[in-house]
Amino acid sequence: MSGVGSLFAETHEAAREEIAPGAFVLRGFALSMGTAVLGALREVTAAAPFRNMVTPGGYRMSVAMTNCGALGWVTDRNGYRYDSVDPESGKKWPAMPGAFRELAERAAAEAGFREFRPDACLINRYEPEAKLSLHQDKDERDFTQPIVSVSLGIPAIFLFGGFVRGDKTQRVPLEHGDVVVWGGPARLRYHGVMTLKEDEHPLLGRMRVNLTFRTAG
Residues that bind ligand SIN (CB under 6 A): 122, 124, 132, 149, 158, 191, 193, 210, 212
Taking the least distance from each CB to ligand SIN, the nearer of 104 and 132 is 132
- Residue 184, sorted as left (phi over 0), alpha (psi -120 to 50) or beta, turns out to be left
Alpha-helical runs (H) found in the chain: 3-14, 34-47, 98-110
Q: How far is the CB of 70 from ligand SIN (least distance, A)?
A: 18
Q: How far is the CB of 192 from Fe ion (least distance, A)?
A: 8
Q: Which residue, judged by CB position, is nearest to Fe ion in the bound state?
A: 137
Q: Which does 189 bind (CB under 5 to 8 A by kind): ligand SIN, Fe ion, none?
A: none
Taking the least distance from each CB to Fe ion, the nearer of 153 and 161 is 161
Q: Which residue, judged by CB position, is nearest to ligand SIN in the bound state?
A: 210
Taking the least distance from each CB to ligand SIN, the nearer of 3 and 199 is 199
Taking the least distance from each CB to Fe ion, the nearer of 137 and 140 is 137
Which residues make Cβ contacts (< 8 Å) with residue 22, sequence separation at least 6? Answer: 146, 182, 183, 184, 185, 186, 187
Write the DSSP symbol of residue 91: S
Q: Which does 193 bind (CB under 5 to 8 A by kind): ligand SIN, Fe ion, none?
A: ligand SIN
Q: Which of 132, 131, 48 is nearest to 83 (CA)?
A: 48
Q: Which of 67, 55, 171, 196 is nearest to 120 (CA)?
A: 67
Contact between 171 and 194 under an 8 Å Cβ cutoff? The reply is yes
- In whole angstroms, give the CA distance from residue 210 to residue 126: 8
Q: How far is the CB of 51 from ligand SIN (least distance, A)?
A: 15
Q: In the complex, which residues of this chain contact Fe ion (CB under 5 A)?
A: 137
